[in-house]
Chain A
Amino acid sequence: MCLGGRVSEAAASAAEKTAALLKAMWERNLPVLRERVGGLSAAAEAAVAGGLSEELRVEAAGVAHKLAGSLGMFGYPEGTAIARELEVALGEVEASGTRLVELVRTLRDALPL
């Protein structure tokens, strides 16, 4: 076998190993992810009810930011895009509850939670 063949075999093996580890990590992190999405859902519902406090809004924006930065690396780029929209929406002092609920629902639909 030529050197190029061994290199590409090694790269394929590293890719397979990384993919398997990522899958295992995703499954291990599911409880945290569910909790985070649940927190966003609670913030959205509070906004609909007119009771989204400044503290909860900022905290939820931080959660959306974390999700935006991590979902794509697990293979869910759509999740990252929706989380970014949530972060922007939650960055507004008068966040629209209806919009937040819609985005959280879309986020749930995009993820195998």
Chain B
Amino acid sequence: MRRILIIDDEDDIREVAGLSLEATAGWTITTASSGAEGIRVCATANPKPDAILMDVMMPDMDGPTTFRKMQETPGVAGIPVVLLTAKVQGVDQRRFAGLGVASVLFKPFDPLTLAQQIADVLGWPSV
């Protein structure tokens, strides 16, 4: 069973993403409401999440900054990160893709197909 850590400052996004991944794929979900909390949760998790789904625009520490800090954190670096963004402009998409994240998905996502989208971009078997 896959384990996913969802990091988003928006309660409704965390809740919808979590319930959709649980209901449609049976994945185990952990959530964090900020980048700092996400790094802390991930660093202490045992077992580690198989992937991290993280918002781009968050107060205090945004998704790209959190991703860079993750790569410097033992036990967290190397876990595939999928960014979630409501930014649709090409310049933003290219900037996020250039960070070294596994993929970038766009909000609003379809709760019924989110798990399959994640599986597809991470090369996991179909859910």
Query: Do the beta carbons of B15 and A25 come within 8 Å of each other?
Result: yes
Binary CB contact string for chain B from 92 to 127 against chain A (1 if under 8 A, 0 otherwise): 000000000000000111111000000000000000
A11, A22, A25, A69: residue with the most chain B Cβ atoms closer than 10 Å = A69
Chain A CB count within 10 A is highest, among B13, B109, B110, B112, for B112
- Does A65 make an interface contact (CB < 8 A)? yes
| CB of A84 closer than 8 Å to a CB of B | yes
Say yes or no for B37: interface residue by CB 8 A criterion: no
User: Is A53 close to B, CB under 8 A?
Assistant: no
Interface of A is mostly: helix
In the assembled complex, B88 has its CB within 8 A of some CB on chain A? yes
One of A14, A70, A77 near B13 (C-beta < 8 A): A70
Q: Which of A18, A65, A72, A77 has the most CB of B within 10 A?
A: A18
Contacts of B20 in A (CB 8 A): 18
Q: Are B23 and A17 in contact (CB under 8 A)?
A: yes
Q: Which of A11, A25, A73, A84 contacts B88 (CB 8 A)?
A: A84
Question: What range describes how many residues of A lie at the interface?
Answer: 20 to 34
**Is A41 positioned at the interface, with any CB of B under 8 Å from its CB?**
no
| Assembly CA distance A29 to B11 (angstroms) | 10
- Contact between B107 and A70, CB atoms less than 8 A apart: yes
The 8 A CB mask of B74-89 against A (1 = contact, 0 = none) is 0000000000011010
Residues of chain B lying within 8 A (CB to CB) of residue A71: 108
A15–B112 CB distance below 8 A:
yes
Whether B111 pairs with A18 at a CB distance below 8 angstroms is yes
CA distance A69 to B17 in the complex (A): 12
B23 to A73, Cβ gap below 8 A? Answer: no
User: A78–B52 Cα gap in the complex (Å)?
Assistant: 29
